[in-house]
Structure 1
Amino acid sequence: MSENPKQAQTRELLLQNGLELFNRQGYHGTGLKEILAAAGVPKGSFYHYFDSKEHFAVEIIHHYRALEFKRWESKIKGSEGDRLAEMRRCISTLIDEYDAQEQKVGCLIANLSGELAACSPYFRSAIQASSEEVLDLMEADFATAQQQGSVRRDLPPRALACLFWDAWQGAMLRMKVNRSTTPLRQVAELLFDNLLKAPHN
């Protein structure tokens, strides 16, 4: 049975408020009462959509991934220009957004990976699936950039995607510790201006 507009709106409200709280305070640091209060939703309505807080967290991971993919693809996929330059522009915009955050909360997937990956197979599977989809997306972008001649061809696109993702995740952790986006800017500069570029660029 499909949800009516009001039900869909309530579910979206819960997910969005839960996303913000989990990203700022962590899964274990956020109580169900706090989520309900932020969303202005009664407890009974929560259990209409989600079986448990654990189920809710997994749905938030899916929700966040869908939002980020939609935003990335809207900026990248319609572009006919240099794909590597477009990727760098999007990453720079993202860093600027993190810079505006007082607490430098960063990426939800990165945050929950550190907190929840070892907690249960349920969490680990959801986080791994989200990470793999990010890698799929980046692999396709690097493949396009290789065809355009702007990215090195001695490594497969998947390896380049893994290099970027792993370096980015490490820089995310340093950003939270340092309360500064400098690690992100350093990683972006090293990768885009040196390690990823084709030798003749």
Structure 2
Amino acid sequence: MKTDTKSTDIRDKILDTAQTIMSGKGFSAVGLNEILAAASVPKGSFYHYFQSKDAFGEAMLQRYFDRYLKGMDELFGQPGLTGAKRLMLYWQNWLTSQTTCDPQSKCLVVKLAAEVADLSEAMRVVLLHGTGKIISRLAGIIAEGIKDGSLAINADPGPLAQALYQSWLGASVMAKITKDDSPLKAAMATTQLQLRQDTL
């Protein structure tokens, strides 16, 4: 049991360290030696947990989505909030997290998607399924807001959720290019207009 726990701890340490580094440098620019040195893990140990760098990247993305979706469920599961309030809290959290200096808070989809989708089919599929689940959860909250009357809109929740998510991804990329939060604030204003919500 202790061996299993230690094994999990080492694997998590490698993944945590890599996510921090890759959030800044990207996937291809980071070598295994850099990750393992930063994690203080022998190189031979890496291949005990991952068959290749691509398999490692797949595991890192999968774990990222697992944690991200858990966070969404916790946010949307807060009692006493309307669907609209839950939805706008999500976007506010996005804006805040993308302007923080903490690499672990940054959206890994924004950082890696364009790069790794062309490098690895396995990683592309993880990205496809993960973002699909995010959009599905957003669609569910939009439907909840329409049902409880907090969103006075006449729109199909699925396509609207997809459009909003894609606009925030684009805004996050532009925020990286401009090195300010103006694109994210513009995305918030557009989202509020589409959902007919006042500023929180």
- Give me the TM-score of the superposition, normalised by structure 2: 0.89
Q: What secondary structure does 1:150 align onto?
A: coil
3-state secondary structure, aligned to 1:27 = coil
User: Runs in 1 of length 4+ with deviation above 3 angstroms?
Assistant: none
* Partner Cα distance (1:189, 1:162) in 2: 17
1:196 maps to a residue whose letter is L
Shift of 1:91: 2.3
Q: Please tell me whether residue 41 in structure 1 is matched to residue 17 in structure 2.
A: no
Aligned counterparts of 1:179 and 1:2: Cα–Cα separation in 2: 45
Which structure: greater helix fraction? 2
1:66 maps to amino acid = D
Structure 1 residue 152: Cα displacement: 4.3
Question: What amino acid does structure 1 have at the position aligned with 2:177?
Answer: V
Offset at residue 86 of structure 1 (A): 2.4
Q: What corresponds to 1:59 in structure 2?
A: 59
Match of 1:128 in 2: 128
Matches of 1:54 and 1:112, distance apart in 2: 13
Residues of 1 paired with 2:14 and 2:165: CA distance? Answer: 29
Does the CA contact (< 8 Å) of 2:84 and 2:145 recur in 1?
yes
Q: Which moved more, 1:87-96 or 1:41-50?
A: 87-96
Aligned to 1:196: 195
More off after superposition, 31-40 vs 73-82: 73-82
| Identity over aligned pairs, percent | 24
Unmatched 5+ residue regions in structure 2?
none
Amino acid at match of 2:131: S
Query: Partner letter of residue 194 of structure 2?
Result: L
Contact 2:117/2:123 (CA < 8 Å) preserved in 1?
yes
What's the counterpart of residue 160 of structure 2? 160
State the alpha-carbon separation in 2 of the partners of residues 160 and 47 from structure 1: 43
In structure 2, how many angstroms separate the alpha carbons of the residues matched to 1:71 and 1:7?
Answer: 25
Separation in 2, partners of 1:121, 1:2 = 35
Count, aligned residues = 196
Match of 2:83 in 1: 83
Measure, in 2, the Cα distance between the counterparts of 1:149 and 1:138.
16
Mapped partners of 1:53, 1:153: distance in 2:
45
Aligned-partner SS, 2:133: helix
Other structure's SS at 1:101 match: coil
Q: CA deviation at 1:123?
A: 2.2
Asked whether the equivalents of residues 106 and 176 of structure 1 are also in contact (C-alpha less than 8 Å), the reply is: no
Deviation at 1:187, TM superposition (A): 0.4
Equivalent in the alignment of 2:182 = 182
Query: How far apart are residue 126 of structure 1 and its match?
Result: 1.5
Q: Go from structure 1 to structure 2 and tell me whether the alpha carbon gap of 1:164 and 1:30 turns closer, same or farther (over 3 Å shift).
A: same
| Letter in structure 2 aligned against 1:39 | A
Structure 1, gaps ≥5 residues long: none
CA distance in 1 between partners of 2:34 and 2:14 (Å): 11
| Residues 117-140 of structure 1 deviation map (CA, whole Å, 9 limit, x = unaligned) | 122322221211111111111111
1:49 to 1:151, Cα distance in 2 relative to 1, 3 A = same
Structure 2 letter corresponding to 1:51: Q
